[in-house]
């Protein structure tokens, strides 16, 4: 997506739970069909997942470098359309989390209740942040100057990468889906800072709503 992108050789990065990796793969298939999933797995040299998905458990076995490699394979395959595709996959990933994490979903829904919309936004993003951070990462939600923001200090999709523009469209899509789930409305989400550009954390700010409740 960025012609001057550089990849920095590093360690495999932090370990990610099997469930997160599984939901990501299922989301790719949901957004791009089976053929799209198979192609990007071949591009990333991860064909082993074509016939056997990771178990739906919290055991940390996948790595951030694998996660980033699959994101890069999606970008290469879809070219200029990769941004839209990654946002769709991000949304589908959140939907997979809702579907499979029934207990946490039920607890979150009970907390949402009849709370004001601003509180529902924050609660949904904290739920998402907890999923992104597990097992030992740092992902925070804050409200500064009236704007709600998610700060991802891990940025697994950008691991080992250097770009000249924000690239974390998966997270943009996941945030959009979380806000829609909590409020019934669509919100603009912008990545203001990105680790791939040298920032300490990827910062995503929530904009105005543009959908009817």
- Which residues constitute the domain of residue 171? 10-209
Report the predicted TM-score, pTM, of the whole model to 2 decimal places. Answer: 0.91
22 lies in a domain?
A: yes
182 lies in a domain?
A: yes
Per-residue model confidence as pLDDT tens digits over 55-76: 999 999 999 999 999 999 999 9
Q: What is the 3-state secondary structure (H, E, C) of the chain?
A: CCCCCEECCCCCCCEEEHHHHHHHHHHHHHHHHHHHHHHHHHHCCCHHHCCCCCCCCCCEEEEHHHHHHHHHHHHHHHHHHHHHHHHHHHHHHHHHHHHHCHHHHHHHHHHHCCCCHHHHHHHHHHHHHHHHHCCCCCEEEEEECCEEEEEECCCHHHCCEECCCCCCHHHHHHHHHHHHHHHCCCEEEEEEECHHHCCCCEEEEEEEECCCC
Q: Which CATH number goes with the domain that contains 160?
A: 3.90.1520.10
Provide the number of structural domains found in the chain. Answer: 1
Per-residue model confidence as pLDDT tens digits over 130-177: 999 999 999 999 998 889 999 999 999 999 999 999 999 999 999 999
Q: What is the pLDDT of residue 9?
A: 46
Considering 115-119, 152-156, 178-182, the range whose residues carry the highest mean pLDDT is 152-156
16 lies in a domain?
A: yes
2 lies in a domain?
A: no
Per-residue model confidence as pLDDT tens digits over 186-207: 999 999 999 999 999 999 999 9
Residue predicted with more confidence, 29 or 113: 29
Per-residue model confidence as pLDDT tens digits over 1-25: 554 465 554 689 999 999 999 999 9
């Amino acid at each position: 997506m960025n012609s001057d992108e550089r990849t920095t050789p590093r360690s495999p990065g932090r370990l990610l739970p099997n469930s997160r990796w599984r939901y990501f793969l299922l989301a790719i298939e949901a957004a791009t069909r089976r053929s799209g999933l198979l192609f990007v797995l071949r591009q990333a040299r991860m064909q082993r997942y074509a016939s056997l998905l990771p178990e739906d458990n919290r055991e940390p076995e996948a790595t951030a470098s694998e996660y980033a490699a699959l994101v890069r394979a999606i970008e290469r395959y879809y070219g200029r359309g990769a941004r839209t595709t990654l946002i769709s996959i991000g949304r589908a990933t959140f939907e997979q989390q809702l579907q499979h994490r029934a207990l946490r979903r039920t607890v979150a829904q009970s907390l949402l209740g009849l709370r004001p919309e601003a509180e529902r936004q924050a609660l949904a993003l904290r739920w998402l942040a907890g999923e992104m951070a597990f097992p030992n990462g740092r992902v925070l939600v804050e409200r500064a100057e009236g704007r709600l923001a998610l700060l991802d200090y891990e940025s697994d999709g950008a691991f080992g990468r250097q770009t000249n523009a924000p690239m974390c469209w998966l997270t943009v899509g996941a945030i959009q889906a979380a806000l829609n789930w909590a409020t019934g409305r669509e919100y603009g989400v912008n990545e203001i800072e990105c680790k791939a550009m040298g920032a300490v954390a990827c910062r995503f700010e929530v904009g105005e709503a543009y959908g009817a409740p």
